Amino acid sequence: MRRSTSLIGMQRCEALIVTCATAVILGIMLLPIVAVILISFTPSSSIGFPPPGLSLKWYAATYDMLFGHDADLVRLRESLTTSISVAGLTAAICCFAGVPAAYALVRLSFRGKTLFNELVELPIIFPAIVLGIALLMIVSALPFDLGIFQLVVAHSIIALPFMIRNVAAALQGLDPALQEAANTLGASPLRAFGEVVLPLIRNGVVSGILLVFVLSFNEFTLSYFLYTVDAFPLSIWLFQKANTTIDPTIFAVSTVVILINVLVILVVDRIAGENTSNKLS
C-alpha cells in the first residue's frame, strides 16, 4: 500500500519535471518570435521591450514601402518579388529532379545506389559557408551573368534532399504491387506511374514542394555569398536594413515573414495528417 503511494508520488514528480522542462524549452524557442511580433506593434520609433503601447504605424510604413513609389523604398518590393520567384523556381526544379530521384532510390536497384543515397543527403550536413564560397568561385568564373538563377541553383542544392526524403517516404508507404497490377492490366511503366503512383504520392510531393519553398524563402547563408544588385532576396534586405538603420519596420516585415512560414507549415501539417489518415482507412 505504502509502496504504491510512493510510486504515484514519483509519477507526479516525474510529470512535474517533464512539464517544467517542456515549458522552459518552448519559452526559449518562442521568446524571440514573440518579442519580434510585439515590437512590431510599437508606437515609438526606437526599439525597446516591452513596447510602450500598441499601434499599426510600422505596418503602414511597410505597406508604403511595398506599394509606394519612393525610389529608395522600392527595394523591399523588389526583394520580396525576388525571394518569391527564387523560391518558386527552386521548388519547381526540386520537384522535377526530386520525384524521379526518390523513385530510383526506393524502387530501382542499380550500381552505386548506396553512394547515390549518401551524395543526395550530403547537402544537409555540408557547411553552407563552404558551399557558398565554392559556388561564388564558380559563378564568378562564368563568362555570363546568371541573374536570380545563381540563387535558384544554390537553393536547389540544399533543398533537394528534403524533397527527395519527402517523396521517398511517400513511395515507401506504397504497395509495389499497385504499379505491377497496372502493368499487367496493360499500362506501360510511364502510364502506370502517372495513373497510379503519382496520384497516391501526391501529398508527399506537395508537402515537399512547400517545404522547399520555405527553405529557399528563408535561406540566408548562400544568398549572402551570391546576391547581386539584380538578385537581391528579402533575407539580405532584412540583414542590411538591420545593419544600417534599426527601426521597427524590419520587425513588421519579419512578422509578415513569420506569418508566411506559419501558413506553409500549417498546410504541410494538414497534408501530412491527411496522408496518415488515408493509410489507416
**Residues forming the site for another protein (CB under 8 A):** 175, 177-178, 180-189, 191-192, 195-196, 199-200, 278, 281
Report how far Cα 246 is from the mean position of its chain's Cα atoms: 26
Would you say 185 or 229 has its CB closer to another protein? 185
Taking the complex as a whole, how short is the minimal distance between the CB of residue 92 and another protein, in angstroms? 24
Would you say 107 or 241 has its CB closer to another protein? 107
Would you say 14 or 180 has its CB closer to another protein? 180
- What the block records as the C-alpha cell of 206 is 506537395
C-beta separation of 143 from 135 below 8 A: no
Alpha-carbon distance 123 to 118, whole Å? Answer: 10
- What the block records as the C-alpha cell of 207 is 508537402
Taking the complex as a whole, how short is the minimal distance between the CB of residue 275 and another protein, in angstroms? 12
Taking the complex as a whole, how short is the minimal distance between the CB of residue 16 and another protein, in angstroms? 43
Taking the complex as a whole, how short is the minimal distance between the CB of residue 278 and another protein, in angstroms? 8
Would you say 73 or 106 has its CB closer to another protein? 106
As a dihedral over the C-alpha atoms of residue 8, residue 10, residue 16, residue 17, rounded to 10 degrees, the angle is -160
Expressed in percent and rounded to 5, the helix, strand and coil fractions of the chain are 80, 0, 20
